Amino acid sequence: MLEMRNKCERCEAALPPESKDAFICSHECTWCRACTEGPLDGTCPNCKGVLEKRPVRVTK
């Protein structure tokens, strides 16, 4: 069971579980929207995987 990371691995922007600006690859490398849409261009620099929007974890 992998822990959900709560910050961007590149710029350390805060990405709490409810953030809509978090992107992950299939290995759960975690990135913010600015990095994903900017310098990373939708590709994980760690594993070359495609980055997708991380589902929002709703806390109630």
Judged by CB under 5 A, does residue 22 bind Zn ion?
no
Of 4 and 47, the one with the shorter C-beta distance to Zn ion is: 47
Judged by CB under 5 A, does residue 24 bind Zn ion?
no
Q: Burial of 32 by CB count in 10 Å (0-12 exposed, 13-18 middle, 19+ buried)?
A: buried
Residue 37, SS3 per DSSP: helix
Of positions 4, 11, 14, 56, contacts Zn ion by CB under 5 A: 11
Estimate the share of the chain in helix, then strand, then coil, as percent rounded to the nearest 5: 10, 20, 70
The binding site for Zn ion (CB under 5 A) comprises: 8, 10-11, 13, 25, 27, 29, 32, 35, 44, 46-47, 49
